[in-house]
Chain A
Amino acid sequence: MIIIVSILIFLMLVSAIIAAVLKDLLSAVIALCVVSLIAAVLFYLLQAPDVAMAEAAIGAALVTAIFVIAIRKTKRFEE
């Protein structure tokens, strides 16, 4: 049980570092979506189903959509 949690937290931290380093902003937003999704799974494992549902619905669907719409109206690559 603790092995699965450790692997998930390691994947979440690696994904956050990828979101910080990449120069293509669209890929950085996808990495942010992965962080949000793994956080939703961790909320469920900490026995909080309400918060897991809210984070999955809001963080993984609506935040990504708003970011992609905003990137489309500005530049795609960081200089």
Chain B
Amino acid sequence: MNFLNNYIYYIGAFGLVFIGLYILLVKKNLIKVIIGLSILDTGVFLFLIAVGYINKGTAPIFSKTGLNPKNMVDPVPQALVLTSIVIGVAILALALTLAIKLYKHYGTLNLRKIKEQRW
């Protein structure tokens, strides 16, 4: 139970990373590969925020007047993950437009068949 209490967030985050890596390596359809990229992103964000957590800490916002600044969680990983979420959605939008153009040009979204057609 103590093991579970300490490491459950890390197990969840790395589970998502490995499922995303498996989809990237094995699957053939281009849109499924892009779904795997998004799952990989979410796993890495979960890991970064779990590293910055302090036991029995509160959020780093001074909303009331009597809060003690000694037991607040780390604010730096939260700022980095906030930037990364927006960058993730920008990459996803660009990847999906390229997928739409590829489908128009080749007629299929199967990666093995697109590699065989060398023009």
Q: Chain B nearest CB: distance from A25 CB in Å? A: 6
- Look across to chain B and name the residue whose beta carbon is closest to the beta carbon of A5: B8
Whether A70 contacts B38 by the Cβ 8 Å rule is no
Those of A20-46 within 8 Å (CB) of chain B: 20, 25, 28-29, 32, 35-36, 39, 42-43, 46
Interface of B is mostly: helix
Q: Chain A nearest CB: distance from B117 CB in Å? A: 16
- Contact string, A36-58, partner B, CB cutoff 8 A, digits 1/0? 10010011001111110011001
- Supposing A25-B31, A62-B89, A70-B96 touch, asked if A32 and B73 sit within 8 A by C-beta, the answer is no
Whether A74 contacts B109 by the Cβ 8 Å rule is yes
Instruction: Please measure, in the bound complex, the distance between the C-alpha atom of A29 and the C-alpha atom of B93, giving whole angstroms.
Output: 14
Q: Chain B nearest CB: distance from A18 CB in Å? A: 10
Instruction: Please measure, in the bound complex, the distance between the C-alpha atom of A47 and the C-alpha atom of B61, giving whole angstroms.
Output: 10
Instruction: Please measure, in the bound complex, the distance between the C-alpha atom of A63 and the C-alpha atom of B31, giving whole angstroms.
Output: 13
Residue of A20, A32, A67 with highest tally of chain B CB at under 10 A = A20
- Look across to chain A and name the residue whose beta carbon is closest to the beta carbon of B22: A20
Whether A16 contacts B53 by the Cβ 8 Å rule is no
Whether B35 contacts A32 by the Cβ 8 Å rule is yes
- Look across to chain A and name the residue whose beta carbon is closest to the beta carbon of B41: A59
Whether A46 contacts B9 by the Cβ 8 Å rule is yes
Chain B residues close to A by CB (< 8 Å)? 1, 4-5, 8-9, 11-12, 15-16, 19-20, 22-23, 27-29, 31-32, 35-36, 38-39, 42, 45-46, 49-50, 53, 57-59, 61, 73, 78, 81-82, 85-86, 89, 92-93, 96-97, 99-100, 103, 109-110
Of the A-B pairs whose beta carbons lie under 8 Å apart in the complex, a sample of 8, sorted by A's number, is A2-B1, A42-B12, A48-B59, A49-B59, A54-B82, A73-B100, A73-B103, A79-B110
